[in-house]
């Protein structure tokens, strides 16, 4: 049996190690500067508060073939593409008729004395999230090709960190041992911390990285207490045994189950992020390079919502009904509050981050509506949001690379001089507001249908977020892409071939899954059915308005 998941985790990890092992870039006598670092690339990642700072040229390293920075980029792209091919082949071998259960399972003793295993496996939801991660990483590498060329290491460290992060992302979605999940959950913070603090934008990037780290560590420590509690009561860390209806965790005292549920939920709510523990995201995204923001918002935040589905709902079904309405209320606040704050932003990176707070409100609302349509829509939303937001962040990154600014007021009339860039911006923006025919619409529609079946009132309130989404997206597009073109933008270059290759796959996926989402739903639905089955008694009670739920 081929260890698909182990290979998918190991391949990018090996790539990161190989890149780190490359010779360090040394400054030759005289400190000659590399001539191939463009001004646009130098501005990218160095601009803060809307103004590009002076460029520090990367030292010359000889011929291109002997340039460790260029070699690092090529290796990073090669390893990420190899990982994508591996994950794609694995997906083709996935049996959709058994998508509700775990496949490609591997269980090996890791620390036997404490019952800890290296255990991995995927159901339909985990599979599509791993596939989404594998697609986004090479596109981010391609888009960020010259983003950190002015650094002393030519961006070598950044590309190594991306591959290390990819290994952690695949691992966290694949883990079926709760302790192993916790390890991946925490270790993935390290590459993101350095990607923001060392390779971010603006003077406050170190503070933003620290805020991200502190919020995530606080949530992780709370979850660690819950993980220990689960082991003490359940006698194992294996998720398959902990979710067994006849297992020790199934007979847990209701009050204890609620506390353990809360320990996991707080960590996932911070990661998601939900209001009121969302404030780290706009700060981190606003100080990140666009490539980092894509992985931060497009993938890492999905760990929170995935964790709610996989761990909160399936391990503690008896506690779920007690938290349904509080979580629904927080989700509705996230939807409306995030959208309102997005409207008032002058920085495009922060604006997109606030839109994601709103979008994640829809996802958590769908998860805790406890209906099959809503949870299927929420799972599908995770994937479609990653593609749509990824495209939007990358296009904004291309603008920053050209002008050194993310401020909306520094643009205008871009569609006249860069029509391809403006076109991609429009498609990604329309996907963000869930326009029919584009992928997020199907997700949002399923969430609304499922939530309305659960209770019409939250569905009506959530609809306010749809109206506000049209406002913040179209207003941003109008101010940046339409109107007269300022003199400083009159020679703004359109998308290059490399940039086109970076965003074209995302545009194609947004349109393809908007027209025909069934391949994803065929994989997601059986896994969702399993989750809903675990909540059958709770679902009926909630639908009938019984806040106490059903305990058998």
Q: 449 pLDDT exceeds 60?
A: yes
Per-residue confidence band for 539, with pLDDT thresholds at 50, 70 and 90: very low
How many angstroms separate the CA atoms of 405 and 50, rounded?
A: 4
Contacts of residue 487, Cβ cutoff 8 Å, sequence gap at least 6: none
CA 504, chain centre distance (Å): 19
- Choice among 1-10, 374-383, 418-427, 543-552 with the minimum mean pLDDT: 543-552
Q: From the CB of residue 18, how many other CB atoms can be counted at a distance below 10 Å? A: 17
Q: Let me know if residue 35 belongs to a domain.
A: no
Q: Let me know if residue 548 belongs to a domain.
A: no
Q: Let me know if residue 533 belongs to a domain.
A: yes
Q: What are the beta bridge partners of residue 106?
A: 120
Q: Let me know if residue 404 belongs to a domain.
A: yes
Residue 535 confidence (pLDDT)? 64
How many angstroms separate the CA atoms of 302 and 298, rounded?
A: 7
Q: 1 pLDDT exceeds 60?
A: yes
Of all residues in the chain, what percent carry a pLDDT higher than 70?
Answer: 88
Per-residue confidence band for 274, with pLDDT thresholds at 50, 70 and 90: confident
Per-residue confidence band for 376, with pLDDT thresholds at 50, 70 and 90: very high
Q: Model confidence over 164-210: pLDDT tens digits? A: 999 999 999 999 999 999 999 999 999 999 999 888 887 888 888 89
Q: What would the mean pLDDT of 304-330 be, rounded to a whole number?
A: 89
Per-residue confidence band for 333, with pLDDT thresholds at 50, 70 and 90: very high
Q: 257 pLDDT exceeds 80?
A: yes
Q: What would the mean pLDDT of 472-476 be, rounded to a whole number?
A: 89
Q: Let me know if residue 44 belongs to a domain.
A: no
Q: What would the mean pLDDT of 330-344 be, rounded to a whole number?
A: 91
Q: What would the mean pLDDT of 513-536 be, rounded to a whole number?
A: 84
- Choice among 76-90, 126-140, 236-250 with the minimum mean pLDDT: 236-250
Q: 46 pLDDT exceeds 70?
A: no
Select, from the ranges 56-65, 80-89, 236-245, 437-446, the one with the highest average predicted confidence (pLDDT).
80-89
CB 156 within 8 A of CB 68: yes
Q: Which domain range does residue 213 map to?
A: 4-25+62-543
Q: 352 pLDDT exceeds 80?
A: yes
Is 498 or 247 the better-scoring residue by pLDDT?
Answer: 498
How many angstroms separate the CA atoms of 172 and 178, rounded?
A: 10
What is the longest distance spanned by two Cα atoms in the chain? Answer: 78
How many angstroms separate the CA atoms of 180 and 192, rounded?
A: 19
Q: Model confidence over 93-123: pLDDT tens digits? A: 998 888 778 899 999 999 888 889 999 999 9
Per-residue confidence band for 447, with pLDDT thresholds at 50, 70 and 90: very high
Q: 27 pLDDT exceeds 50?
A: no
Q: Let me know if residue 257 belongs to a domain.
A: yes
Q: Let me know if residue 222 belongs to a domain.
A: yes
Q: Let me know if residue 341 belongs to a domain.
A: yes
pTM: 0.86
Q: How many distinct structural domains can be found in the chain?
A: 1
CA angle, 526 then 296 then 188, to 5°: 85
Residue 198 confidence (pLDDT)? 87
């Amino acid at each position: 049996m081929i260890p698909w998941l182990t290979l998918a985790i190991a391949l990018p990890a090996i790539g990161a190690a190989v890149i780190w092992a490359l010779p360090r870039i040394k400054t030759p006598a005289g400190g000659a500067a590399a001539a191939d670092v463009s001004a646009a690339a130098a501005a990218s990642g160095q601009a803060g508060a809307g103004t590009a700072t002076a460029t520090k040229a990367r030292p010359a390293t000889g011929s291109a073939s002997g340039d460790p920075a260029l070699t690092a980029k090529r290796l990073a792209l090669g390893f990420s593409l190899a990982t994508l091919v591996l994950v794609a082949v694995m997906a083709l071998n996935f049996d959709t008729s058994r998508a509700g259960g775990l496949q490609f399972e591997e269980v090996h003793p890791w620390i036997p004395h404490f019952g800890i295993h290296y255990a991995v496996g995927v159901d339909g939801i985990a599979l599509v999230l791993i596939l989404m991660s594998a697609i986004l990483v090479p596109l981010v590498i391609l888009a960020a090709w010259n983003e950190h060329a002015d650094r002393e290491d030519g961006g070598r460290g950044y590309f190594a960190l991306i591959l290390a992060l990819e290994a952690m992302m695949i691992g966290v979605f694949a883990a079926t041992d709760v302790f192993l999940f916790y390890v991946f959950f925490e270790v993935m913070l390290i590459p993101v911390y350095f990607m923001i603090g060392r390779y971010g934008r603006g003077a406050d990037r170190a503070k933003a990285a620290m805020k991200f780290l502190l919020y995530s560590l606080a949530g992780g420590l709370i979850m660690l207490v819950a993980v220990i509690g689960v082991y003490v009561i359940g006698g194992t860390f294996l998720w398959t045994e902990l979710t067994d209806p006849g297992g020790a965790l199934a007979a847990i005292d209701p009050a204890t189950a609620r506390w353990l549920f809360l320990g996991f939920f707080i960590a996932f709510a911070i990661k998601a992020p939900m209001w009121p523990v969302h404030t780290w995201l706009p700060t981190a995204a606003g100080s990140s390079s666009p490539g980092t923001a894509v992985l931060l918002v497009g993938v890492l935040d999905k760990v929170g919502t995935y964790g709610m589905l996989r761990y909160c709902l399936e391990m503690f079904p008896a506690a779920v009904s007690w938290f349904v309405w509080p979580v629904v209320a927080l989700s509705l606040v996230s939807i409306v509050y995030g959208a309102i704050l997005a409207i008032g932003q002058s920085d495009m990176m922060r604006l997109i981050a606030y839109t994601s707070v709103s979008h994640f409100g829809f996802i958590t609302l769908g998860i805790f509506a406890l209906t099959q349509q809503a949870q299927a829509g929420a799972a599908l939303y995770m994937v479609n949001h990653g593609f749509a937001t990824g495209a939007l962040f990358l296009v904004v990154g291309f603008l920053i690379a050209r002008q050194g600014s993310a401020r909306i007021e520094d643009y205008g009339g871009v569609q006249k001089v860069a029509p391809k860039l403006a076109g991609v911006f429009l498609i990604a923006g329309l996907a963000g507001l869930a326009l029919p025919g584009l992928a997020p619409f199907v997700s949002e529609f399923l969430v609304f249908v499922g939530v309305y079946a659960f209770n019409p009132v939250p569905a009506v309130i959530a609809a306010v977020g749809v109206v506000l989404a049209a406002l913040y997206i179209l207003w941003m597009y109008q101010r940046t892409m339409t109107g007269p073109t300022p003199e400083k933008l009159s020679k703004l270059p359109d998308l290059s071939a490399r940039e086109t290759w970076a965003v074209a796959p995302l545009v194609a996926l947004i349109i393809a899954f908007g027209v025909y989402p069934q391949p994803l739903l065929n994989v997601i639905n059986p896994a969702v059915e399993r989750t809903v089955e675990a909540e059958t008694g709770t679902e009926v009670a909630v639908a009938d308005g019984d806040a106490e739920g059903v305990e058998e």
